Structure 1
Amino acid sequence: MKIISTNTGEQREIEWKGKQVTTGIFKFSVDEPIFLDLEDVRGDAICNRENHGGIDQAIYGYSLKHYEYWKTKYPNLDWQFGMFGENLTIDDLDETKTHVGDVFKVGAAMLEVTKARNPCMKLGVRFNDMSIVKQFWNTSMCGVYFKVLQTGLVKSGEVFEQIKSCPENPTIAEVYQAKKIEKGIN
């Protein structure tokens, strides 16, 4: 696998349904390397530390292959990398084959798979359509959160190499499905 795009964003205040919402979901591709730190990407806005950032959710990765599915559902959007709020757009990140505990090396950094990303209303804000949240729940294309085991710079084009596999652990897709059932989402 390889990194297709590295993405960061700034804090934004937007109006949504008559309310002011603070978000960092508007991420865009950057040309310079990004620094993967222990709790986040240095210089990337995280506005909800309960659900994003921190040790077990420091980096969010999303698969380029998933973009094609979503483009058919939302053909009128201005599609750019970072649309899902991901820090790393990875060419072929497959949640059905990625296990909790798997470790990847990319650039100078080492990342460990920790959990699935649960969609929230801010994904709907990004897409300007709240139906994306339920549609997102009804796929296994949730993306992957990573813990940073070794900090370092990462840039587009670098190899995303798996160096440890944990097939005894659940896949991210299985973790995501269990969370969906726990929340009673149909």
Structure 2
Amino acid sequence: MADVVVDALFAGGIGILGEEGHRSGIFKRRVEGDVHVFAEGIVGDEQADRRVHGGPEKAMHHFAAENYASLASFFPQIADALVPGSLGENISTSGLTERNVHIGDIFRVGGVTLQVSQPRAPCWKINHRFATEGVSLVVARERMTGWYYRVIEAGTIRAGDPLELVRRTSERFSIDEFWNVQSAHSPRIEDMLELAAVDGLAHDWKVRLTERVRWIRERRQAQSGG
């Protein structure tokens, strides 16, 4: 993996999203200098809906800067708004993507150690963020979701720090391959079990995958008359 450095770091408070007045933490601002990171992410970062955002398994969101050019090709009318930080990520880089970052990867950056725990699951708030329908659908379909980290070792980071891959726990399951398995209409049980067993995958996803396997097995048994 080629040398990659942090291009920018983002954090922020909660803003109002759309005419409906939904509260959201998607609005981030660039932060300069030493940035302090603890178990739940960047100090001072906030999330409005803690049921689906934030917490130790989603402490920091990383999004590939090159994805914005791809998104702009689908939505040229909002190309000027599609800039790093605008999807609510905390870390922006070039060179790390959903194709070469794997579930369970452990990175050292500055004084912090991070582990990839799961992809981001895009939601309707992305559409409202840009006042454009279909953005979240394209993010999901093209698998430009970014990924979340858990914090293994707290410390400080800053823009310009290199990201060093310390350990890879799964050679197979990149973020892209995760979505290949998870989104398959008729997924192979073996694939789901292999993904669920990856060291570093968020516990919630392990449960969801194993429950889906159980449901498929029970359905097949019922269909076979067993």
Name the TM-score, length of structure 1 as normaliser.
Answer: 0.88
Q: Which moved more, 1:45-54 or 1:173-182?
A: 173-182
Q: Which whole-Å CA distance do the structure 2 matches of 1:65 and 1:92 have between them?
A: 8
Q: Give 1:6 shift.
A: 0.2
Higher relative CO (Cα under 8 Å, sequence separation at least 6) belongs to: 1
Counterpart selection for 1:120 from 109, 112, 123: 123
CA distances 1:113-156 after superposition (whole Å, capped 9, x unpaired): 11000101111122221310111111122101001000111111
The two structures, once aligned, show a CA RMSD in angstroms of: 1.7
Residue 63 (structure 1) aligns with? 64
Q: Secondary structure at the match of 1:98?
A: coil
Q: Give 1:82 shift.
A: 0.6
Name the TM-score, length of structure 2 as normaliser.
Answer: 0.74
Q: Does residue 82 in structure 1 map to residue 85 in structure 2?
A: yes
Q: Which whole-Å CA distance do the structure 1 matches of 2:125 and 2:28 have between them?
A: 12
Q: Secondary structure at the match of 2:152?
A: strand
Q: Which runs of 4+ in 1 moved over 6 A?
A: none
Residue 12 (structure 2) aligns with? 9
Are residues 126 and 104 of structure 1, via their aligned partners in 2, closer, same or farther at CA, if it must alter by over 3 Å?
A: same
Identity among equivalent positions (%) equals 26
User: Quick check: 1:41–1:59 contact (8 Å CA) kept in 2?
Assistant: yes
Structure that is richer in helix per residue: 2
Q: Give 1:169 shift.
A: 5.2
User: Quick check: 1:6–1:155 contact (8 Å CA) kept in 2?
Assistant: yes
Q: Which whole-Å CA distance do the structure 2 matches of 1:108 and 1:101 have between them?
A: 19
Q: Secondary structure at the match of 1:160?
A: strand
Q: Which whole-Å CA distance do the structure 2 matches of 1:74 and 1:64 have between them?
A: 16
Q: Secondary structure at the match of 2:159?
A: coil
Gaps of 5+ in 2: 186-226
Residue 110 (structure 2) aligns with? 107
User: Quick check: 1:105–1:162 contact (8 Å CA) kept in 2?
Assistant: yes
User: Quick check: 1:96–1:140 contact (8 Å CA) kept in 2?
Assistant: no
- Larger of the two Rg values belongs to structure: 2
Residue 149 (structure 1) aligns with? 152
Q: Which whole-Å CA distance do the structure 1 matches of 2:7 and 2:170 have between them?
A: 26
Q: Does residue 34 in structure 1 map to residue 35 in structure 2?
A: yes
Q: Which whole-Å CA distance do the structure 2 matches of 1:155 and 1:125 have between them?
A: 30
CA distances 1:20-68 after superposition (whole Å, capped 9, x unpaired): 2000101122223322211122101211112221111101001112122
Counterpart selection for 1:175 from 173, 178, 186: 178
Are residues 176 and 49 of structure 1, via their aligned partners in 2, closer, same or farther at CA, if it must alter by over 3 Å?
A: farther
User: Quick check: 1:29–1:81 contact (8 Å CA) kept in 2?
Assistant: no
Q: How many residues align?
A: 180
User: Quick check: 1:28–1:80 contact (8 Å CA) kept in 2?
Assistant: no
Q: Which moved more, 1:166-175 or 1:102-111?
A: 166-175
Q: Does residue 20 in structure 1 map to residue 39 in structure 2?
A: no
Residue 137 (structure 1) aligns with? 140
Q: Give 1:73 shift.
A: 2.9
